[in-house]
Structure 1
Amino acid sequence: MGALITTFGVGELSAINGVAGAFSEHIPVVHIVGCPSTISQRNGMLLHHTLGNGDFNVFANMSAQISCEVAKLTNPAEIATQIDHALRVCYIRSRPIYIMLPTDMVQAKVEGARLDTPIDLSEPDNEPESEDYVVDVVLKYLRAAKNPVILVDACAIRHRVLEEVHNLIEKTNLPVFVTPMGKGAVNEEHPTYGGVYAGAGSSPPQAQEIVESSDLILTIGALKSDFNTAGFSYRTSQLNTIDLHSDHCVVKYSTYPGVSMRGVLQKVIKQISASELNVQPSPVVQNEIPKAVDDSPAITQAYLWPRVGQFLQKNDIVITETGTANFGIWDTKFPSGVTALSQVLWGSIGWSVGACQGAALAAADDNSGRRTILFVGDGSFQLTAQELSTMIRLKLKPIIFVICNDGFTIERFIHGMEAEYNDISNWDFKALVDVFGGSKTAKKFAVKTKDELEQLLTDATFNAAECLQFVELYMPKEDAPRALIMTAEASAKNNAKKD
């Protein structure tokens, strides 16, 4: 769970885009808003940071649409109960909550006895009869299938069933694939790992054929959005699909509301074995730079992303921005233990820079020694560049790659290469390191050729990541990852549809 504190009105509205992204992406966030005192609210006083109409609930009402719980702390006798309940809801539902804290409640005495009892974060049990029925049906279809596969998606991560996913993979030896939003959910060095399934954008391409020819696809935590499916390019049938979700299950065309995936997975794992399944081989996934990549010195998308896979280390944290990075990373095979952070569904450009700061801070707090690595486009970076200052101030040590390709590449492929609104100002990006106070503590680089990139990625000091390192990574303007081109074409066609 994450937490943020904002000022009433002006502060919370500045943060509302980020909170909406957390709601969209199933991220538990506690949003605490410091607001005027209960007396000021009751008297309808004309205060700064208000709309001047005496309505102190208007912003809470806005946030209610992107929160799974709104707690207005106005009565000291109820505050402890309200907070415990809100935190439980935030954790269980894996979505933001909104806590409205008036200034006169900050020092108010509340019930202290509750601090002796930990908050109950256990998920509600499934109704036993319904759960057992779903388990029996799932087992029946798994045992009968000729070439079953497992497909792991975003909500397996967000709703914390990765231990169950791992145990299922080990118990069944079935081919396992991830979606783009499921990157990092499984050990990509596992022998049964078959790559990223995203319809026509799958990587390796043979992953599409294997998944779509399967007579039973067991999906875990599916989130079938446009970018997660390469423009809705799935060619699978619900008749061959079992979808396990956090609050319901769908077996072929039958839906079982209220039956969550954790209980089902745990019982399936106990009752299944690989010997009773038809296990087919998975495709071999490697960080292999395609032979068709031209031998020009330019750093192309087709060259970069497999090379990134060779650069990554176990347990790295990898953040990819909406745009070329989000799609290019599909072609990167991760070492074990890598955490992948992206915002494929919400897609708010600039998100990744702040996310990098948060991830690097978390890594520093737990003293794990994990590297934090960001790939962000030049246009996106310009929206939230000031977070670089925060990273320098906090002495964080991320590796930041700014992809310099003259503007908003994904928009060029959707709306046309020459649209002027996709152009950006030509910043001296690496100069910002000094501007923000990092001249003595950080390093900066500019790489424009494959040889320069190779020299950097093989440098032992650079790999050690002992300080903040900022890299301008120059790439061709009209080049994009294969999956982005396919998805952009699908988006353009969808945008052009008429009633």
Structure 2
Amino acid sequence: MTDTIPLAGYLFRRLHEAGLRAVHGVPGDYNLVMMDYIVPAGLEWVGNCNELNAGYAADGYARVKGIGALVTTFGVGELSAINAIAGSYAELAPVVHIVGTPKRALQTRGVKLHHSVCSGKPSDFTMFAEMYSKVTVAQENLWDASTAPSQIDRAIRECVLQSRPVYIQVPSDMVTEPLPASSLAQPLDLTLPSNNPELEQEVCDIIVDRISSATQPFILIDAGTSRYGLTGEADELVQRTGFPTATTPFGKGIPDETLPNFHGIYASVGENTYVPYVESCDLVINIGPIHSNVNTSCFTTIPNPKVSVVFDQTSITIGSKVWNVLPKSVLRRVVDRLEHIMFSFWQYPSLPDPRATLNRIPPVARTGALTQDIFWKRMSRFFRPGDMVLTETGTASSGGRDFVFPRNVGMINSGVWLSIGYMLAAAQGVALAQRTLASSYKHARTILFEGDGSFQVTAQELSTIIRKQLNVIIFVINNDGYTIERLIHGMEAEYNDIAQWKYLDSPSYFGAPSDGSYPVLTARVSTWGELDDVLSRDDFQRSCGLRMVEVMMGVSDCSQTLRDFLEMYASKKD
């Protein structure tokens, strides 16, 4: 090891140490030299079509890999990405946003530079960082080589531990600034130490006592479960107690849905609601709650706090008392204590069995038109272990609640930010992360359900999927416009119309090779027979490459669950 290492080399080496294997972004003159250090650090460079897409892709990558990163240039680049970073902040995705900025001397003098607002004031170079301070949990400006290593380490640590984005500025004259190579000898500390083992044990005892004495218990798993690193312990809790368990819409895909005590999504709309049961429970173990209106059926499914044990990011709440202890450590203690305790009910409650719905799907005629009430349920038969499923905001996100997954299938949807177009770019990041994790990538499928309107927002990222030869299946729901918006307001309004694209021509336009080196399969389906024929093809189910299906749906068609939710939403908006 040499005595020194360039600052940018240190930064990317630390990101690699944190688990990152790919950097998304867009080059610009203020970050070009910095990007020379990405590949030598063992990272893959993914050039995206624009910065917004890069932010979405880094977010998707982070949700699978545990950390994501993007590089943009000052001003025009970073502001193009701020919507994506705000979404990462809202939905707890650990993304490191690195911004190449002008030389320090030019900033200090307030020189009127391109990509700034050109007022001639030093504040030109701080205003964008101020904007980012609202949607990131740590901000570092690497202005001084003597403090840069600790700044970098601190930002990465906060990103991982808080599972939220951070913001790092690298002035262009600091990129090659030498740092002591010995700084790399100290490993990154990405763990939260147990600050009070005695208190953790006390809280564990209280929770175990509540569990042991419960007569009508319930476990509710939300998206924070995975964001806070609680998935393993939560799975063990569900299995060892046998307590009735469900997820919120945002938490779907986290627990094992094949367990007999798993009862689907807990919501107050849809055909399988069981709110009265939960409202009469004497214990609700609520793990990782995110109480947005969309995720709680307009706040109607938030469990009674008086009977709840809530595992949050950095605390546990039991009734009205908050304990500032490490949730993961306490939950681990609880699960270990329960290993030798037997749980049984006098009579297990009669709750919906999501697996049984697969046997009650109405029969359809091969020539019948596709409808959303049946489509989403029938698609459950297509999934297999190892899949990662993404459902875009709108009818796809709502319809995806009807999926019934086999073991080891993950899901990404949006429960807070709901930025249409996110999922296509995110699918690129997810598929790339899947490739780095899978022992055999050909068996890891990234499956995207995307509306036609959402597809048009970030369509360029299909070219990155093709260029990186990723394994992605895309179902484009063509319902001729913004159906979710039509259902809210303006069914016939022109502002909910979109241009009719030739979606299945897009792989060719975006550079798919014609020599078979990267397989591409496209199909348009409008009947159940056509859909079944495509799904049953072996080269569709098992081959690598891009598979794209345009699914023709009615303009106003949606699931009954979505109609019920929108009626509730309309009644509670004021």
- TM-score, normalised with respect to structure 2: 0.82
Q: What are the equivalent positions in structure 2 for 1:56-455 lying under 5 Å apart?
A: 56-201=125-270, 205-234=272-301, 236-256=303-323, 258-272=324-338, 273-276=340-343, 278=345, 280=348, 283-286=352-355, 288=358, 290-291=360-361, 297-367=368-438, 368-369=440-441, 370-438=444-512, 440=514, 441=518, 442-455=520-533
Structure 1 CA distance for aligned equivalents of residues 486 and 325 of structure 2: 43
Structure 1 CA distance for aligned equivalents of residues 302 and 180 of structure 2: 56
Structure 2 CA distance for aligned equivalents of residues 260 and 483 of structure 1: 37
For the structure 1 residues 277 and 112, does the alpha-carbon distance in structure 2 shift closer, same or farther, using more than 3 Å as the test? farther
Per-residue deviation at 1:292? Answer: 5.2
Per-residue deviation at 1:168? Answer: 1.3
Question: Counterpart of 2:284 in 1: which secondary structure?
Answer: strand
2:108 aligned residue:
42
Q: What are the equivalent positions in structure 2 for 1:14-33 lying under 5 Å apart?
A: 14-33=80-99
* CA displacement 1:326-380 (0-9 Å, x = unmatched): 1111111111111211122110000001001111112223344201110000111
Check the 8 A contact 1:379/1:424 in 2, yes or no. yes
Question: Counterpart of 1:430 in 2: which secondary structure?
Answer: helix
Listed as ranges, the gaps of 5+ residues in structure 1 are none
Structure 2 CA distance for aligned equivalents of residues 372 and 208 of structure 1: 33
Check the 8 A contact 1:77/1:111 in 2, yes or no. no
Per-residue deviation at 1:293? Answer: 6.9
For the structure 1 residues 237 and 291, does the alpha-carbon distance in structure 2 shift closer, same or farther, using more than 3 Å as the test? same
Question: Aligned pair 1:52/2:118, yes or no?
Answer: yes
Letter in 2 for 1:354: A
* CA displacement 1:232-278 (0-9 Å, x = unmatched): 2327422222211111222122233x223212211211222542564
Per-residue deviation at 1:170? Answer: 2.5
Structure 2 CA distance for aligned equivalents of residues 365 and 132 of structure 1: 38
Per-residue deviation at 1:212? Answer: 3.5
Check the 8 A contact 1:414/1:491 in 2, yes or no. no
* CA displacement 1:440-495 (0-9 Å, x = unmatched): 24221100111100111111110013221111011111111222212212222233
Question: Counterpart of 1:180 in 2: which secondary structure?
Answer: coil
Check the 8 A contact 2:218/2:244 in 1, yes or no. yes
Letter in 1 for 2:408: G
1:472 aligned residue:
550
Structure 2 CA distance for aligned equivalents of residues 138 and 366 of structure 1: 35
Structure 2 CA distance for aligned equivalents of residues 467 and 357 of structure 1: 12
Question: Counterpart of 2:295 in 1: which secondary structure?
Answer: helix
What is the aligned-residue identity percentage?
Answer: 39
Q: Mean alpha-carbon deviation: is it higher for 126-135 or for 369-378?
A: 126-135
Structure 2 CA distance for aligned equivalents of residues 112 and 460 of structure 1: 52
Letter in 2 for 1:288: L
* CA displacement 1:51-77 (0-9 Å, x = unmatched): 112321110110011111001001011
Per-residue deviation at 1:215? Answer: 2.3
Structure 1 CA distance for aligned equivalents of residues 72 and 361 of structure 2: 51
Per-residue deviation at 1:290? Answer: 4.5
Structure 2 CA distance for aligned equivalents of residues 208 and 426 of structure 1: 42
Per-residue deviation at 1:124? Answer: 3.4
Check the 8 A contact 2:364/2:528 in 1, yes or no. no
Listed as ranges, the gaps of 5+ residues in structure 2 are 1-66
Structure 1 CA distance for aligned equivalents of residues 306 and 74 of structure 2: 50
Question: Counterpart of 1:373 in 2: which secondary structure?
Answer: strand
For the structure 1 residues 143 and 243, does the alpha-carbon distance in structure 2 shift closer, same or farther, using more than 3 Å as the test? same
Per-residue deviation at 1:291? Answer: 4.8
Q: Mean alpha-carbon deviation: is it higher for 127-136 or for 149-158?
A: 127-136
Structure 1 CA distance for aligned equivalents of residues 563 and 164 of structure 2: 32
Check the 8 A contact 1:143/1:277 in 2, yes or no. no
Structure 2 CA distance for aligned equivalents of residues 92 and 464 of structure 1: 37
Check the 8 A contact 2:490/2:496 in 1, yes or no. no
* CA displacement 1:426-447 (0-9 Å, x = unmatched): 1111111111122624221100
Check the 8 A contact 2:267/2:273 in 1, yes or no. no
Structure 2 CA distance for aligned equivalents of residues 235 and 468 of structure 1: 40
Check the 8 A contact 2:272/2:352 in 1, yes or no. no
Structure 2 CA distance for aligned equivalents of residues 415 and 290 of structure 1: 33
For the structure 1 residues 278 and 130, does the alpha-carbon distance in structure 2 shift closer, same or farther, using more than 3 Å as the test? farther
Check the 8 A contact 1:444/1:470 in 2, yes or no. yes
Question: Counterpart of 1:472 in 2: which secondary structure?
Answer: strand
For the structure 1 residues 371 and 160, does the alpha-carbon distance in structure 2 shift closer, same or farther, using more than 3 Å as the test? same
Check the 8 A contact 1:293/1:302 in 2, yes or no. no
* CA displacement 1:165-215 (0-9 Å, x = unmatched): 1221232122221111111111111222111112324xx605445434422
Q: Mean alpha-carbon deviation: is it higher for 76-85 or for 168-177?
A: 168-177
Question: Counterpart of 1:182 in 2: which secondary structure?
Answer: coil
Question: Counterpart of 1:60 in 2: which secondary structure?
Answer: helix
Check the 8 A contact 2:312/2:327 in 1, yes or no. yes
Check the 8 A contact 2:310/2:317 in 1, yes or no. yes
Structure 1 CA distance for aligned equivalents of residues 409 and 147 of structure 2: 42
Check the 8 A contact 2:395/2:484 in 1, yes or no. yes
Structure 1 CA distance for aligned equivalents of residues 388 and 221 of structure 2: 19
Question: Counterpart of 1:310 in 2: which secondary structure?
Answer: helix
Give the superposed CA RMSD: 1.9
For the structure 1 residues 355 and 235, does the alpha-carbon distance in structure 2 shift closer, same or farther, using more than 3 Å as the test? closer
Letter in 1 for 2:230: V
Letter in 2 for 1:311: F
Question: Counterpart of 1:407 in 2: which secondary structure?
Answer: coil
Length, aligned pairs only: 493
Per-residue deviation at 1:144? Answer: 1.7
Structure 1 CA distance for aligned equivalents of residues 468 and 510 of structure 2: 12
Letter in 1 for 2:287: I
Q: What are the equivalent positions in structure 2 for 1:458-497 lying under 5 Å apart?
A: 458-495=536-573, 497=574
Per-residue deviation at 1:28? Answer: 0.4
Structure 2 CA distance for aligned equivalents of residues 2 and 439 of structure 1: 29
